């Protein structure tokens, strides 16, 4: 290498340098990163960023500013690391009307869930181990609470459906409440539990949600283990496609950043009006389709109830579901001594339901929870067939 690389201690010196055409921002967060990105755009420079948090929250104004100045903001590294998912959605699948996307887009949580399943351990134990191995940060909140995955699925949703980025409308639930026994029961029923980022087109609006999900074991995505990422995209013409690879790390991130640099270099002589728009749709062609509230989402469910081991409990529970119009797909009742040891008076009741609207399920859960024979908070995990 030559010694003609200049290192400066002031980021603004980079933005002020007229020789520089493209600024790469890999700081992260909403603070100084946001100011520098906006200043670079105002100075007429293209931007390459891996900052999913910034774009998911402030993307609308950032892309509008870039559009106004005729510059590009490229963000392949912001979603799923080295997997070229943004390019696939925006260009490779452009002939398709995308129906839904479901992805394992956070390596930390996938590593934790894989370990919980492999070793039969509870969440807290595995989190400590993940931190020791460097898979989880000292403050893992963004990962384990699903926020990071929600930033990423918000960006994919905007590109897939031509809606503005609306992170504040996403439903976000992490993995901190999952128990080893739920992973085990899911397995017995033929499912794996994964933290999924899901966005889906429906007649009523766009679903935008992150939560643990039961996925059938026979789906390829159910077998994505460790810190790997995978994204399923379903298009009307192409059917279901799957993208798999490393979602984090210096080299996969660099791979995506360099690809963006090459893209911008190839395109920056092109007339700005002829470039691929940031979110695949021209700003004036954005759709105002609403993002659905979680209560309006239709999906199916896994329920675990700790109940008194006595006659009539099952009838009451199934009665409540029937009255609410929720039909049962499968049921699993553990013998009392398997759950609470010899002579136990309580048992686990596991129910898989067919599709229903979440608001109805909330109602049914509230009624079941009120039964004196239901002895602990009911565990509810959504189930996604991804067919």
Residues serving a catalytic function are 152
Backbone angles phi, psi at 255, to 5 degrees: -55, -45
Give the contacts of 142 (CB within 8 A, at least 6 positions apart): 148
**333 CB neighbour count, 10 Å cutoff:** 15
Angstrom distance (rounded) from CA 144 to CA 127: 9
- CA-angle at 295, arms to 291 and 301, nearest 5°: 115
Q: Which two tokens stand for residue 346?
A: 């309580």
Angstrom distance (rounded) from CA 217 to CA 214: 9
Angstrom distance (rounded) from CA 90 to CA 280: 5
Buried b / exposed e along 348-370 (16+ C-beta atoms within 10 A) = bbbbbbeebbbebbebbbebbee
Angstrom distance (rounded) from CA 194 to CA 175: 9
Buried b / exposed e along 291-327 (16+ C-beta atoms within 10 A) = bbebeebebbbbbbbbbbbeeebbeebeebbeebebe
Residue among 375, 77, 334, 332 nearest 229 (CA): 77
- CA-angle at 223, arms to 51 and 357, nearest 5°: 75
Name the CA dihedral angle for 102, 107, 119, 299, rounded to a multiple of 10 degrees: -20
């Amino acid at each position: 290498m030559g010694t003609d690389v200049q290192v400066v201690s002031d980021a603004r010196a980079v933005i002020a340098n007229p020789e520089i055409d493209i600024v790469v921002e890999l700081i992260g967060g909403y603070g100084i990163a946001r100011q520098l990105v906006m200043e670079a755009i105002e100075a007429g420079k293209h931007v390459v960023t891996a900052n999913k948090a910034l774009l998911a929250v402030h993307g609308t104004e950032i892309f509008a500013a870039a559009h106004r100045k005729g510059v590009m903001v490229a963000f392949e590294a912001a979603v799923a690391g080295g997997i070229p998912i943004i390019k696939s959605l925006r260009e490779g699948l452009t002939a398709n009307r995308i129906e839904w996307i479901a992805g394992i887009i956070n390596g930390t949580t996938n590593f934790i869930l894989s370990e919980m399943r492999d070793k039969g351990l509870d969440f807290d134990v595995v989190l400590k181990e993940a931190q020791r191995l460097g898979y989880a940060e000292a403050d893992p909140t963004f990962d384990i609470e699903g926020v990071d995955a929600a930033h990423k699925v918000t960006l994919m949703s905007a590109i897939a459906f031509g809606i503005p980025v609306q992170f504040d409308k996403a439903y976000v639930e992490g993995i901190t409440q999952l128990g080893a026994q739920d992973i085990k029961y899911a397995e017995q029923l033929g499912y794996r539990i994964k933290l999924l980022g899901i966005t889906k087109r429906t007649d009523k609006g766009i679903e935008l949600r992150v939560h643990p999900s039961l996925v059938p074991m026979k789906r390829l995505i159910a077998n994505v283990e460790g810190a790997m990422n995978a994204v399923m995209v379903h298009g009307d013409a192409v059917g279901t496609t799957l993208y798999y690879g490393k979602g984090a790390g210096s080299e996969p991130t660099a791979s995506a950043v360099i690809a963006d640099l090459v893209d911008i270099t190839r395109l920056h002589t092109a007339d700005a009006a002829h470039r691929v728009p940031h979110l695949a749709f021209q700003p004036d062609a954005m759709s105002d389709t609403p993002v659905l509230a979680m209560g309006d989402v239709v999906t199916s469910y896994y329920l675990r109830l700790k109940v008194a081991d006595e006659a009539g409990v099952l009838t009451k529970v199934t009665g409540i579901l029937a009255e609410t119009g929720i039909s049962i797909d499968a049921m699993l009742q553990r013998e009392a001594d398997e759950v609470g040891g010899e002579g136990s008076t309580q048992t686990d009741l596991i129910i898989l339901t067919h599709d229903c609207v979440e608001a109805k399920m909330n109602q049914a859960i509230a009624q079941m929870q009120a039964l004196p024979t239901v002895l602990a908070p009911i565990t509810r995990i959504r189930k996604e067939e991804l067919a």
